[in-house]
Structure 1
């Protein structure tokens, strides 16, 4: 792996690429997408630039890769933002022009299926950003969450250190995009529960790697994860999606990372708050708590087997729940289990 470097940051007034390297959901939910674009202009002062596949569902992976490469190559574009996730970006990354990406590093923002691209940029030595979706976060019903806005603004424009904070409220029950009327109502939120710390009281400083756990499993299967030595000493980020993987699956994926020799190399692990509700599984609060407890136990079991001295922080808001904090991917992080603080360098 090449030495990781932070790309230059955009400034208000700049042109930024808005791309759909995974699912072209702007084609299906244009009302949500247009709201996200408007907020990108009004809240951040950035001018979104669309590419041919941004509003296309089922675009050929080669065409999506061509758009991504063009976004990085364009000297007038200073950052690249994903519209949303999906499930097949793994078919896109082989078609990217890596020479162009290396020669024109830019901040890339995305999560979920975008773990494929975040990992790809990591292997090219480019720091990217886990989080920030034009549909999900900028197009959030009601108003964008203030923690998400503050974190995204800092990651976009401000170099230096940023303290993550536990969210005073959280939610995992989004409004139904199929009904445009729901954009006027705030999503259901619950009182914050703070972070849960596990492991020794020490301070870990390193670089980040990881992302959506299900996608990490695909990357393992396709041998697109760097050498064990490339990840030793990094801080692992893991979060799960609206597919609600079982605790057994979570344990088995982490076990696979352990058998690969990766899990034992992470001195600290951040675990995103577990999303435990979806439209086809509208769990009660009691069911959500049970799901999160079972997932937490699965993570602890795997770490006890492969890295029992790791510092672990659960319920950090960087995954598929609301709000979402932006975390640099391959960037620097300090996990302070003494002061119970997490700081990232944007």
Structure 2
């Protein structure tokens, strides 16, 4: 690969970590949930969380949020950075960042959804990170942190090594209203997992990853300045998932078609597709219609790759992105997709 990616160093118990809001400052709206997440950073992870000026500041400007990111990376006592949640305008933060500051002291960054902007920006400047993790969604989860989330988060932070990303038996795509006190102790009901679907599982691919939330990657493509030349992604494993905005199958096809016309899709010999969120409290969908939504999305993705990279191996229904439980996956680190064995292994070393 033309980009030489650097893996961030591991942490030690007691290290200080930044808890930032590079997108939406949800801690300002839901302080009790934020405080629960901060306690779990201390009690469950054994780390010391550090807030910055815009962590709770609703309406902070892109430049102000960028200043907090810069300050976190410039502070040698901060050894990792957690995003509190996603949002919808992190793209406007990127122009205010100086790559030299981030390269000088690589640190693990954890985020997904709108944080795909920063993940992609870091990758483009040679820095690996982690797709997944949201203090207010996953660490503050009412019934506690999901075991698979915690295991991969610990591997990324401390342990390293290899973990099999196994299918889960049940999952949830619903929400408990954070305005309700019960959200601090209860979680949304779980239903049987839709399971995985393997397409062309006849090869073994072990390579660095790139990607994230398709909606956000498409914004990066539209902006033009944040996507590298297509050949820089050659041989990577593509991570692909969609957000709570639940784009239609046609929208998914059109976004991937645009990536295909850019020459991007043919760079990826293996693709992992996250379990698609098919309902949202602001746009609920009956249970029987949710699998139809996922099936239609799968067909749209297959249609795009059928045009631009028909030999790609694709795994649908992997538990990352906008789903619960959520695996934290390397972004720029290596994943092995073994088609004949039907296994996915993430390498956290």
1:264 match: 266
Distance 1:263 1:191 in 2: 31
1:83 match: 84
Q: CA deviation at 1:284?
A: 1.3
Distance 2:201 2:132 in 1: 28
1:228 match: 230
Q: Deviations over 1:112-142 (max 9, x none)?
A: 0000000010011111000010001001122
SS of 1:172's equivalent in the other structure is coil
Distance 1:294 1:116 in 2: 26
2:317 match: 315
Distance 1:139 1:80 in 2: 16
SS of 1:17's equivalent in the other structure is strand
Q: Deviations over 1:53-90 (max 9, x none)?
A: 00011101111111001101111111011000000000
Asked if the contact 1:167–1:317 (Cα under 8 Å) also holds between the matched residues in 2, the reply is yes
Q: CA deviation at 1:160?
A: 2.4
Residue 126 of structure 2 is aligned to residue 125 of structure 1: yes
1:24 match: 25
2:103 match: 102
For residues 1-346 of structure 1, the aligned pairs below 5 Å read 2-223=3-224, 224-346=226-348
Pairs aligned (count): 346
Q: CA deviation at 1:186?
A: 2.6
Q: CA deviation at 1:200?
A: 3.8
Q: Deviations over 1:121-171 (max 9, x none)?
A: 001111100001000100112211111111111111112222111112111
Asked if the contact 1:175–1:183 (Cα under 8 Å) also holds between the matched residues in 2, the reply is no
Distance 1:94 1:105 in 2: 19
Asked if the contact 1:235–1:270 (Cα under 8 Å) also holds between the matched residues in 2, the reply is yes
Distance 1:129 1:271 in 2: 16
TM-score (norm 2): 0.97
Asked if the contact 1:200–1:309 (Cα under 8 Å) also holds between the matched residues in 2, the reply is no
Distance 1:339 1:165 in 2: 12
